[in-house]
């Protein structure tokens, strides 16, 4: 009779000894990257359209910040709180210098007190958040009695989709630019409009530039499916506004 062969028992694996699941490992790596302390790079969204309207008329619509919440997607509240001291001699009214704006997308929004810079007939720029700086040259600002002096104004929690003092955006800079365009007609005939030969009624290019930096990478992950569509949707909404107001 052959000797009995003893088979050693298999070692018992405790739950903590099981090899890591690839799915769990990937989730852990994803969450680690989301909540890492590495700097969050700023992002820029842009959109441009050419409209058959006078640039001064379009500029007045863009500078009407009080009306933004009535027609602009991703802006649920807008109120001008401060104006220039003097009326603009060309347009006959004052321009906003500070406003409360509630902005956001992807289910996240925050109310900010924004500094507003208006270059009459050309640029309307709103700066929100700590460290936001104007992209307008200092000499151009000085020409209209303006100066970029960033001062930190904590974001309000009114209408906020998140809690915490820092809010959704670390910085948010929205700039509208209007540029008049004069185009020559193919046949060189423009006399009927009283513009002289080879010219036709003025049209304008409108550009929207949104520069922002999220306070937390998680917000970027949540809104990533929406972010690229924000600027085109906003500028198309402005086109509809212009059609409604200007005909």
Domains of the chain, residue spans: 45-246
Please indicate, yes or no, whether the overall pTM of this predicted structure exceeds 0.75: no
- Examine the pLDDT at 106 and tell me if it is beyond 90: no
Comparison of pLDDT for 83 and 11, the residue scoring more: 83
Q: Would you say residue 4 has pLDDT above 70?
A: no
The listed range with the strongest mean pLDDT (61-65, 82-86, 184-188, 194-198) is: 61-65
CATH T-level topology, domain 45-246: Alpha-D-Glucose-1,6-Bisphosphate; Chain A, domain 4 (3.30.530)
159-174 pLDDT, tens per residue? 333 333 457 888 889 9
Q: What is the pLDDT of residue 149?
A: 78
Residues 6+ apart with CB under 8 A from 42: 171, 211, 212, 213
Q: What is the mean pLDDT of residues 74-102?
A: 92
DSSP per-residue codes, 138-178: HHHHHHTT--------PPB-TT-SS-SSS-SEEEEEEEEEE
Q: How far apart are CA 180 and CA 216, in angstroms?
A: 39
| pLDDT of amino acid 216 | 83
According to the model, what pLDDT value does residue 90 have? Answer: 87
As a whole number of angstroms, the distance between CA 210 and CA 173 comes to 6
Contact assessment for residue 193 and residue 201, using Cβ atoms and an 8 Å cutoff:
yes
For residue 54, the SS3 value is: coil
């Amino acid at each position: 009779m052959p000797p009995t062969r003893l088979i050693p028992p298999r070692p018992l694996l405790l739950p903590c000894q099981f090899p890591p699941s690839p799915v769990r490992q990937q989730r852990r790596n994803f969450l680690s990257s989301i909540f890492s302390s590495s700097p969050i790079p700023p992002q820029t969204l842009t959109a441009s359209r050419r409209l058959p309207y006078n640039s001064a008329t379009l500029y007045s619509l863009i500078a009407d910040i009080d009306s933004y919440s009535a027609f602009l997607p991703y802006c649920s509240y807008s109120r001008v709180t401060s104006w220039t001291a003097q009326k603009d001699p060309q347009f006959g009214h004052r321009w906003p210098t500070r406003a409360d704006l509630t902005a956001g997308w992807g289910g996240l929004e925050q109310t900010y007190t924004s500094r507003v810079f208006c270059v009459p007939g050309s640029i309307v720029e709103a700066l929100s958040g700590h460290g936001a700086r104007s992209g307008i040259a200092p000499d151009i600002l000085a020409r209209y009695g303006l100066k970029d002096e960033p001062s930190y104004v904590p974001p309000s929690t009114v209408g906020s989709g998140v809690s915490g003092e820092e809010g959704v955006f670390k910085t948010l800079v929205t700039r509208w630019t209007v540029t008049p365009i004069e185009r020559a007609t193919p046949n060189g005939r423009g006399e009927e409009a009283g513009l002289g030969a080879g010219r036709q009624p003025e049209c304008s290019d409108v550009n929207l530039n949104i520069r922002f930096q999220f306070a937390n990478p998680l917000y970027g992950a949540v809104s990533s499916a929406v972010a690229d569509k924000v600027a085109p949707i906003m500028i198309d909404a402005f086109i509809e506004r212009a059609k409604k107001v200007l005909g």
